[in-house]
Amino acid sequence: MSEELFNGLDPATRADLRAQLRTRSVPAGGVVCSAGDGSDSLYLIERGLLNVLDSGGALLGPQHPGDVVGEVALLTGEPRSATLVARVPSEVSELPRDAFFALTARHPVLLANLAAILGRRLVARTATPRGEVTALLTGPGGWAGTATALATAEAASATPVTVVDAADPRSGTAAGRRCLT
């Protein structure tokens, strides 16, 4: 359950909320919702990894366990602006619109928490991106899991992954991307 959305709720309220959720398993490649669809619920990512795609199919970014998705369309009543696709087998909990508004009427902190989530997302999208680097270092003989580790990093990254192989002078350049030796 999203700790960020439900911050400040007592255990009894959380149990009430949990009773309103419909849990759904989504296979890898499965679509949770599509851009243009009507919105009558929001989703809480319980397990797995979802990719958010714009209406043209471009990757906007990943969503992880604990994230809330579909909240903008739920609040505005507008069609969904993005498609959510499970990158790996995933589980989401769906909170229907009427249940959400009934809960917010009894627990206004839910709306304050949702406003904070939306505010942070807006800042993150408009702020200057910070660089992130993840390194996988192996010995001279390599590592049998390198290809799997690279595929996992690419699946989870919203930005291109560059491989730098110290043994390959082309590595890190356009010609050397995805170079595994």
The pLDDT tens digits of the residues spanning 21-60 come to: 999 999 999 999 999 998 889 999 999 999 999 989 999 8
Question: pLDDT tens for residues 134-176?
Answer: 676 777 777 777 778 777 777 777 677 777 776 666 655 544 4
Instruction: Output the CA angle 29-45-38, nearest 5 degrees.
Output: 75
Structurally, the chain folds into a number of domains equal to 2
Q: Is residue 95 domain-shared with residue 22, that is, in the same domain?
A: yes
CA 43 and chain centroid, separation: 11
Tell me the three state secondary structure of residue 157.
coil
The residue range of the domain holding 33 is 11-126
Q: What is the pTM of this model?
A: 0.66
Q: Report d(CA 117, CA 104) in Å as an integer.
A: 15
Q: Is residue 115 domain-shared with residue 158, that is, in the same domain?
A: no
Q: Is residue 33 domain-shared with residue 68, that is, in the same domain?
A: yes
Q: Which residues, at least 6 apart from 38, have a Cβ–Cβ distance to it below 8 Å? A: 79, 80
Q: Report d(CA 82, CA 90) in Å as an integer.
A: 18
Q: Is residue 51 domain-shared with residue 30, that is, in the same domain?
A: yes
Tokens 């419909």, located at residue: 22
Tokens representing residue 116 in the block: 């904070």
Tokens representing residue 91 in the block: 């589980």
Q: Report d(CA 34, CA 83) in Å as an integer.
A: 4
